[in-house]
């Protein structure tokens, strides 16, 4: 039976998602040798940090890339991928703020754009064959560039250790500063950093200090609480501490605050899409503050039925985004539903940061359905306590009829 | 049009849910005067605290009750109402651990049992006409005793202030130690204490120290973290710190720990079932620790699709329980589904308590689907990275076909 | 305790939803006598039929109305209320095409507009106190005109029979052609006609011929099948049998076909929102054909996950629309989700009409994800059978790990 | 990278799901040649018809099997797989009664039992690599026998046509009566028969007479309607036309009636689990009647909220069963929920069969929540129309508050 395997001879130019790390540094020469093709490096700046970007173009060229494109996706990522997801309230398996998941579709989309520009006939990523990211990249590629071939070296080559990768580069005289051992596997962008591996591989081990890359240990955080105010419009953060900031700038500002106070750490065992479980420590300092802010404004604005639907949408969205289904009609539909619910989610909150916690202490909204007047005792103009009798009677009518039936039958 | 109003003359004996507080102390004489009936007091011990129960029988008799029944419901409440709800993961509107909601059905059920025993023809509660509890009580009554009349004095009488209530008692020489002013409205049981009113009525006010009744302020909590271990079987806590304890005993133990470390505070604006919003500060110290423990074991045990279903069940259960639908076929169905999912939820966790936070640091389970071997790199016996290529291809096939169609059309 | 009851003296002008039937003919004089106010009649033409509209203005004036406004809502109802609902696939309790439910919000909205125009201070409807329509009307009023009073005479007056209503009119010399007895209660609009009461009140009685008002008995329908073609764009019917028609015109055309072939009858016991069950025979001839057409195009276009979400949205929408929640953020959110899913739902179907059945026999779509090439045997360019092995392996990986665990434990 | 491919030398004995058709007749010698192993044939009698079972043991032996086990699974399939699924109301993508899907898990389970009995080390099925059945079989194998190897010849061998298969047998002198051409692909069991291929491959073709294998064309069905009565207990059919029958016997009885009247035909384009769409004509005569019967009793018994949950469970179950997830915790959980809801689903219905339609005309239940007394006009003991005013007020309170807010803001 014929395989859909790539005819290697047909591949002339490949765009590879290049990080400057060991894996993707190996991928460039490997592609050239194995596919006899030109390799274009594509670097997505999603806020992973300056140190990873310094000199990256030179590094790519030194590894054998013919060109290197760098795209600054930071604002777009926060505005068009993170904010819409935040509105849904998505927390994967109740905890994970989807930091890695949300970055993948925008990187894939920008990579496809470079491929179109340079006339490439294949796309390549450096994700392993056991993880979610391969699905997220290739799911995006299938939706955006079904005509381009996809090369996933980790599912193809025989290299299985850092040592082999380093040897591979050394044999080819490609300079590489990567260390022989690397205990933890990390992924960072403006929103979060994840840490896997090492001591975390045994779930009975508590994370140690090395498992946390950004945030201060809550026990070492300031003994004084600090307060930040966040302004929300249509479900999006538009100002922080009185300053109107862009989505990315808001995130940077809140990251700084969160990091200082040890906010946004989680330690989770999660179900990967590919059927196995993994354990990771994730830090999302600013994102955790944003999430608290949005949910607090929602408390004021959404009615009961809308709130329940938003919760359901959040559960669904968490799986969709985690599973790499961003560029699907289902995801668009779900985001349209959430966007509609967010129309009235305007307001302002004050959040207390203290020893690892972000707690909303004050909140208000022009669209608040909370009314001091309605909720408290005494007469008012919209609620008459006598109404409750009728409400309850009808609300429980089916129970009553059922119980009366039972009583009649047991006679 | 005829009303379903009670024919007062037909009421001979009423069982009233009696708390010993001002309201229910007024209700006893009021019932006797307005319904010309015998009044039996029923006191549910759901762990609201010894001080509320001391001398309560005498107090009830002094207020005019012919008898006073006290039922110790603490173990049953935790085992049969709280534990099943916990398995669902229910958090009303994402935050509230349903402390008041879960106590109502068991109190109502026990009250009906007393009514049957003494041959009463009516049930009475002291809930206000603006709250959820009236619906929870009367929903339970409709299901369990559709033949008994229900009297809700707060929806019927003209008393609107504490002063009027105190005057009412004074005029009748009924002793009462209640104070003239009471800033906050509180409800307590073994699981939680809620605080409403006062400064909280303006959502732009932060809670002050008086808004918290049980827990130590996280800022005043010990500077040293403390660790507790929790053992879970079939989704239920069965041992704490190595001691096999009953559900109620486990809760008492964990409450003590949680209170000391300021764990389990929430400040929420929520949608009441009766259509308005209210704001409250809730403390659930032990419950918060239990919730963390259960969810952590679930992380090890539930597969992805099961986890998502559990999340959906949790959202549904939170509304069902909050809305007082405990004694309905829907609630039974939902709990049956959750019970089934909990069959494998066995394990052990260690939880760190520190300055208001309960964080699981270690977890393990004999039923864990996490496998160090499977999740990490290298060869293994259940997962072949090459499988992923086929998986992704089929997983994204619809996206690919759609995109190919689009490309064809745009030509 | 103060009631929210209307201060009758404050009511100067009422707009009543007037049908020309016995009830609303009584309501006009009753309002004038009981509220000492001017009464304006509002007639909504939702396609209930010419015979109900002939001379209705004169009738309203003769009953005592100061003015009578007639609004033609037919096109708007089909385009803006029915079509969006159809896209969701909503079938209340699996069967009911929501004919009465969908008409209520648009009538209420148009009634409010008249009230604003004439400067009325109250709105009145003729719905009974046991049905859903009172909730639908008043739910819409609450959202659109919370400042206007609502008068629901059937919950207020003492009239309980047709005879009393007729006497009421006779005493006031108001002409009325209504008959003394009326076996069935009916509601009609362009979309459907419902029949309740009479023989249907016993669910063990089969409906008799009188229970069906529009459609030919399938047993009397033509022995020859007839075919209609329907063209769908973005989830909406845009042409029928090759003719581009407006939504209402399409419905009229398909109604005629459906009626002739006995299509669209259902006999259902349903849960009313107010807690009791009722039984009705509903006829939706053209609507049933439209529903079949849309669902068939969806089969071609929606991927698996989108289809499942559409099914879930349909269940939710059926309850929302039935429950009169049209003018709520939740309903808007849900319709936004559906609209997004419908973007690709373009295509054409042929439907066979025969003896009560509407069956799609042919269907096609430019956006079809069905591909003869992909689905059948042999090689193709998008699907490699060997991929399936990897897919299955990962798809069932959690089952495998769980089973291996179990096997290990039982050793 | 090491593959998880089977080490062929390690396979000594394989149990193959044998149907007697062309494919599985080829599989037996192919396994022996390619795996050098003993092959045991396993035949599941799921009601596919006597003609397929006659002489099947001899045929298997003639093809090279060392043994042939035949298991009569008919009663178990209907009782333990079909009835539980029916209670959920599952209709895949709104239409499909899951005939093929429900048979797969029981066949796989019985096949595993044979494998254990004979000490086999591998399981083999004859499903193609493009369909759902491979996933259903292998999903069951993963859960029940993760230690056994799975061989799927259609994903492995090079045979791509019937001609090649026939040649393969002829070369080995294995007798086979299969014809060279076979237009349609069919699958049958007691519950249904499916037809795919041929003219159906173009969705713009209407099915022709050959596409229907069991049922009479509705146009050729009797001109006289026929009535059957069905008795339901706990959501299961327990008697038909007054005769207490086992599940399988009930099905056989109703199949006969349905076939005669052309009941149970559907023509659907569906989403396969493996990402593509397929089109099929399915006939489920008795099943369609059963489904109608159950849903009608539910109308009487389930309250509104329970009904909605049952609808949601039905959507979920349809996907779970279709996707071959029978032996998973999620499926167990979902069935437990449904079983609980079915506890009161007792009653009796009369169903009219006429020209392709099965229509419930009469229904009753001791647990009916429908009450003639409650639903109609006039006074009653459980419902007071004045209650509706209070109900509506609270039910629409959030809308009112929101609208009042808006009005205030726009001033």
Give DSSP secondary structure letters for D275-343. Answer: S-EEEEEEE-HHHHHHHHHHHHHHHHH--HHHHHHHHHHHHHHHHHHHTT-TTSHHHHHHHHHHHHHGG
Residue whose tokens read 């036309």: D241
Q: Which CATH class is domain C13-172?
A: alpha beta
Per the CB < 8 A criterion, the answer to whether A141 and B403 are in contact is: no
Is residue B393 flagged as an active site residue?
no
Mean pLDDT within A207-235: 98
Can you read off the two tokens belonging to residue C254? 């398909």
Task: Please report the residues numbered 275 through 334 in chain B whose beta carbons come closer than 8 angstroms to any beta carbon of chain A.
Answer: 275-279, 295, 299-300, 302-304, 307-308, 311-312, 315, 319, 327-329
Per-residue confidence at A375, pLDDT binned at 50, 70, 90? low
What are the backbone angles phi and psi of residue A118, rounded to the nearest 5°?
-90, 0
Which pLDDT belongs to residue A1?
31
C203, C296, C372 member nearest D300 (Cβ): C203
Mean pLDDT within C220-241: 98
Is residue C23 flagged as an active site residue?
yes
Q: Do C157 and B1 touch (CB under 8 A)?
A: yes
Give the residue on A whose Cα is nearest the Cα of C304.
A330
Interface contacts A/C by beta carbons within 8 Å: 112
pTM of this structure: 0.97
A369 CB neighbours in chain D (<8 A) are 398, 401-402, 405
Which pLDDT belongs to residue C406?
87
Q: Do C375 and D203 touch (CB under 8 A)?
A: no
The answer to whether C128 is annotated as binding is: yes
The answer to whether C21 is annotated as binding is: yes
Q: Provide the mean pLDDT of chain C.
A: 94
Label the pairing between strands D184-188 and B357-364: unpaired
Per the CB < 8 A criterion, the answer to whether B43 and B69 are in contact is: yes
Which pLDDT belongs to residue B374?
66
Which pLDDT belongs to residue B2?
34
Mean pLDDT within D84-95: 98
The binding site of D for L-aspartate consists of 128, 132-133
Q: Tens place of pLDDT for every residue, chain B, 411 residues?
A: 334 556 788 899 999 999 999 999 999 999 999 999 999 999 999 999 999 999 999 999 999 999 999 999 999 999 999 999 999 999 999 999 999 999 999 999 999 999 999 999 999 999 999 999 999 999 999 999 999 999 999 999 999 889 999 999 999 999 888 888 888 999 999 999 999 999 999 999 999 999 999 999 999 999 999 999 999 999 999 999 999 999 999 999 999 999 999 999 999 999 999 999 999 999 999 999 999 999 999 999 999 999 999 999 999 999 999 999 999 999 999 999 999 999 999 999 999 999 999 999 999 999 999 987 665 554 556 677 778 888 998 989 999 999 998 888 877
State the Cα–Cα distance between residues A80 and A236, nearest whole angstrom: 11
Mean pLDDT within A278-290: 98
Give the residue on A whose Cα is nearest the Cα of D399.
A303
Q: Do C401 and B371 touch (CB under 8 A)?
A: yes
Which pLDDT belongs to residue D2?
34
Interface contacts A/D by beta carbons within 8 Å: 91
Residues 6+ apart with CB under 8 A from D241: D228, D229, D253
Residues 6+ apart with CB under 8 A from A314: A88, A89, A90, A91
Per the CB < 8 A criterion, the answer to whether A392 and B135 are in contact is: yes
Q: Provide the mean pLDDT of chain D.
A: 94
Distances (CA, A) of B130 to A308, A376, A385: 21, 8, 6
Which pLDDT belongs to residue C384?
77
For residue C162, the surrounding DSSP H or E stretch is helix C162-171
State the Cα–Cα distance between residues C386 and C393, nearest whole angstrom: 12
User: Quick check: D376 pLDDT over 70?
Assistant: no
Q: Is C397 on the interface with B (CB under 8 A)?
A: yes
Can you read off the two tokens belonging to residue C411? 């050793």
State the Cα–Cα distance between residues B236 and B293, nearest whole angstrom: 10
pLDDT in tens, C381-408: 667 777 888 899 898 999 999 999 888 8
State the Cα–Cα distance between residues C274 and C203, nearest whole angstrom: 20
Strand, helix or coil for residue D210: helix
What does DSSP assign to residue B148? Answer: S
pLDDT in tens, A377-395: 444 566 777 788 889 989 8
Give the residue on A whose Cα is nearest the Cα of B139.
A396
Residue B208 CB neighbour total at 10 angstroms: 11
DSSP string of D235-274, one letter each residue: TEEEEETTEE--HHHHHHHHHHHHHHTT--EEEEEEE-TT
pLDDT in tens, D153-203: 999 999 988 999 999 999 999 988 888 888 899 999 999 999 999 999 999
Strand, helix or coil for residue B71: strand
Q: Do A336 and C337 touch (CB under 8 A)?
A: yes
Q: Do A308 and B319 touch (CB under 8 A)?
A: yes
The answer to whether A97 is annotated as binding is: no
Q: Is D344 on the interface with B (CB under 8 A)?
A: yes
C279, C377, C400 member nearest D146 (Cβ): C400
List b or e across A217-241, with b for residues whose CB sees 16 or more CB atoms inside 10 angstroms. Answer: ebeebeeebeebebbbeebbbeebe
Label the pairing between strands A67-72 and A38-45: parallel
User: Quick check: D383 pLDDT over 60?
Assistant: yes
Percent of chain A's residues with pLDDT above 70: 96
Which pLDDT belongs to residue A371?
82
Q: How big is the CA angle at B322 (ends A304 and B239), to the nearest 5 degrees?
A: 135
Per-residue confidence at A374, pLDDT binned at 50, 70, 90? low
Q: Which chains touch A (3 or more CB pairs under 8 A)?
A: B, C, D
Query: On the CB side of D346, how many CA atoms lie within 13 Å of its CA?
Result: 6
Q: Do B276 and A364 touch (CB under 8 A)?
A: no
Q: Do A329 and C337 touch (CB under 8 A)?
A: no
Q: Which chains touch D (3 or more CB pairs under 8 A)?
A: A, B, C
Label the pairing between strands D277-283 and D347-354: unpaired
* Residue from B275, B383, B387 to probe the interface with C (highest C Cβ count within 10 Å): B387
User: Quick check: C364 pLDDT over 80?
Assistant: yes
Mean pLDDT within D290-295: 98
Residue B379 CB neighbour total at 10 angstroms: 13
Residues of A marked active site are found at: 23, 104, 133, 185
Among the options D80, D121, D162, D185, which is catalytic?
D185
State the Cα–Cα distance between residues D379 and B354, nearest whole angstrom: 62
User: Quick check: C172 pLDDT over 50?
Assistant: yes
* Whether the complex's predicted ipTM surpasses the cut of 0.90: yes
Which pLDDT belongs to residue B383?
74
Which pLDDT belongs to residue D3?
41
Residue C68 CB neighbour total at 10 angstroms: 19
For residue B281, the surrounding DSSP H or E stretch is strand B277-283
From the list D275, A102, A8, the residue with the least C-alpha distance to B404 is: D275
Mean pLDDT within A288-296: 98
Q: Do B205 and A362 touch (CB under 8 A)?
A: yes
Which pLDDT belongs to residue C5?
58
Label the pairing between strands A193-197 and A277-283: antiparallel
User: Quick check: A146 pLDDT over 50?
Assistant: yes
Per-residue confidence at A360, pLDDT binned at 50, 70, 90? very high
State the Cα–Cα distance between residues B124 and D378, nearest whole angstrom: 29
What are the backbone angles phi and psi of residue C45, rounded to the nearest 5°?
-90, 100
pLDDT in tens, D2-60: 345 567 888 999 999 999 999 999 999 999 999 999 999 999 999 999 999 999 999 99
Per the CB < 8 A criterion, the answer to whether B16 and B31 are in contact is: yes
Task: Please report the residues numbered 121 through 140 in chain C whose beta carbons come closer than 8 angstroms to any beta carbon of chain B.
Answer: 129
User: A91: phi > 0 → left, psi -120 to 50 → alpha, else beta; which?
Assistant: beta
Task: Please report the residues numbered 66 through 95 in chain D whose beta carbons come closer than 8 angstroms to any beta carbon of chain C.
Answer: 89, 93-94
User: Quick check: D380 pLDDT over 70?
Assistant: no
Domain range summary for chain B, segments of one domain joined by +: 13-172, 185-302+344-364
Residues 6+ apart with CB under 8 A from B75: B246, B247, B248
From the list A233, C144, B303, C263, the residue with the least C-alpha distance to D407 is: C144
Q: N- to C-terminal Cα distance for chain A? A: 71
B282 CB neighbours in chain A (<8 A) are none
Which pLDDT belongs to residue C374?
66
Say which CATH topology domain B185-302+344-364 has.
3.90.1260
Q: Is D8 on the interface with B (CB under 8 A)?
A: no
Give start and end residues of each alpha helix (H) in B216-279. Answer: 247-260
pLDDT in tens, A321-356: 999 999 999 999 999 999 999 999 999 999 999 999
User: Quick check: D1 pLDDT over 50?
Assistant: no
User: CA of B85, closest CA in chain A: separation in Å?
Assistant: 17
Dihedral angle computed from the Cα positions of residues C272, C276, C281 and C286, in that order, rounded to the nearest 10 degrees: 10
Which pLDDT belongs to residue C315?
98
Give the residue on A whose Cα is nearest the Cα of D405.
A367
Q: Is B197 on the interface with A (CB under 8 A)?
A: yes
pLDDT in tens, C50-87: 999 999 999 999 999 999 999 999 999 999 999 999 99
Strand, helix or coil for residue C243: strand
Can you read off the two tokens belonging to residue C303? 């991927």
Residue A272 burial (10 A CB sphere; 0-12, 13-18, 19+): buried
Residue B374 CB neighbour total at 10 angstroms: 21
Can you read off the two tokens belonging to residue A144? 């955006």
Q: Do A139 and B392 touch (CB under 8 A)?
A: yes
B383 CB neighbours in chain D (<8 A) are 4
B146 CB neighbours in chain A (<8 A) are 399-400, 403-404, 407
Residue whose tokens read 């009748």: B172
The binding site of D for ATP consists of 17-25, 44, 126
User: Quick check: D251 pLDDT over 70?
Assistant: yes
Per-residue confidence at A2, pLDDT binned at 50, 70, 90? very low
Which pLDDT belongs to residue D381?
64
The answer to whether C267 is annotated as binding is: no
Q: Is C227 on the interface with B (CB under 8 A)?
A: no
Give the residue on A whose Cα is nearest the Cα of B319.
A308
State the Cα–Cα distance between residues D30 and B71, nearest whole angstrom: 74
């Amino acid at each position: 039976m014929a395989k859909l395997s790539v005819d290697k001879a047909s591949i002339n130019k490949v765009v590879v998602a290049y990080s400057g790390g060991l894996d993707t540094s190996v991928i460039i020469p490997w592609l050239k040798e194995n596919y006899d093709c030109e390799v274009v490096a594509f670097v997505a700046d999603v806020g992973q940090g300056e140190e990873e970007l310094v000199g990256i173009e030179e590094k790519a060229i030194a590894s054998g890339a013919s060109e290197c494109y760098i795209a600054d996706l930071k604002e777009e990522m926060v505005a068009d991928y993170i904010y819409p997801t935040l509105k849904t309230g998505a927390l994967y398996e109740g905890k994970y703020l989807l930091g890695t998941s949300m970055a993948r579709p925008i990187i894939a989309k920008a990579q496809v754009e470079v491929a179109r520009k340079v006339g490439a006939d294949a796309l390549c990523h450096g994700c392993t064959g056991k993880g979610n990211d391969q699905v997220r990249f290739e799911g995006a590629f299938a939706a955006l560039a079904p005509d381009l071939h996809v090369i996933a070296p980790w599912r193809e080559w025989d290299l299985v250790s850092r040592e082999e990768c380093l040897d591979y580069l050394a044999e080819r005289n490609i300079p590489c500063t990567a260390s022989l051992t690397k205990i933890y596997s990390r992924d960072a962008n403006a929103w979060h950093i994840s840490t896997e591996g090492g001591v975390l591989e045994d779930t009975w081990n508590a994370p140690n200090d090395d498992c946390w890359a950004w945030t201060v240990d809550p026990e070492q955080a300031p003994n004084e609480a600090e307060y930040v105010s966040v302004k929300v419009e249509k479900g999006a953060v538009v100002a922080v501490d009185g300053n109107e900031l862009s989505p990315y700038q808001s995130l940077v500002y809140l990251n700084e605050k969160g990091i200082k106070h040890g906010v946004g750490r989680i330690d989770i065992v999660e179900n990967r899409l590919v059927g196995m479980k993994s354990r990771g420590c994730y830090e999302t300092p600013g994102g955790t503050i944003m999430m608290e802010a949005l949910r607090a404004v929602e408390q004021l604005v959404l009615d009961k039925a809308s709130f329940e639907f938003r919760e359901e949408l959040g559960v669904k969205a968490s799986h969709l985004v985690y599973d790499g289904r961003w560029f699907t009609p289902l995801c668009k539909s779900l985001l349209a539903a959430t966007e509609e619910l967010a129309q009235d989610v305007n307001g302002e909150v004050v959040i207390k940061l203290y020893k690892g916690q972000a707690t909303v202490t004050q909140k208000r909204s022009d669209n608040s359905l909370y009314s001091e007047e309605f909720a408290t005792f005494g007469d008012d103009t919209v609620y008459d306590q006598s109404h409750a009798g009728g409400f309850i009677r009808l609300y429980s009518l089916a129970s009553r009829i059922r119980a009366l039936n039972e009583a009649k039958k047991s006679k």
